[in-house]
């Protein structure tokens, strides 16, 4: 992983969260490590947080690979305390 873009959710928006809001975005990565496609796998009840997660996923950068189309699953966790992002290869 070269760059992880974490969604910038305002404090006021995060204060509306009860518990932990998880959003999953599957991304496809080209040989250079750039995200070239994304698909929402699991969304929360908020269109706002879903949009933030999808926009952030497009900005992630991975290590170069000798293959096109490497799939990754990005998980964004939104809580009142902040936002985290994690990637796992598929």
Tell me, yes or no, whether 52 lies in a domain: yes
State the CATH number of the domain containing residue 76.
Answer: 3.30.2420
Tell me, yes or no, whether 6 lies in a domain: no
pLDDT tens across 35-84, in order? 999 999 998 788 999 999 999 999 999 999 888 888 999 999 999 999 99
pLDDT of residue 81: 96
Q: Is 51 in contact with 44 (CB distance < 8 Å)?
A: no
Number of domains composing the chain: 1
Tell me, yes or no, whether 4 lies in a domain: no
pLDDT band at 1; cut points 50, 70, 90: confident
């Amino acid at each position: 992983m070269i760059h992880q873009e974490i969604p910038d959710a305002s404090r006021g928006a995060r204060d509306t969260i009860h518990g932990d809001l998880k959003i999953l975005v599957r991304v496809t990565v080209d040989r250079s490590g750039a995200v070239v496609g994304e698909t929402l796998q699991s969304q929360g009840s908020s269109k706002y947080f879903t949009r933030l997660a999808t926009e952030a996923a497009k900005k992630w950068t991975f290590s170069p690979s000798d293959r096109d189309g490497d799939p990754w699953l990005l998980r964004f966790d939104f809580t009142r305390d902040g936002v985290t992002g994690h990637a796992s290869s598929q």
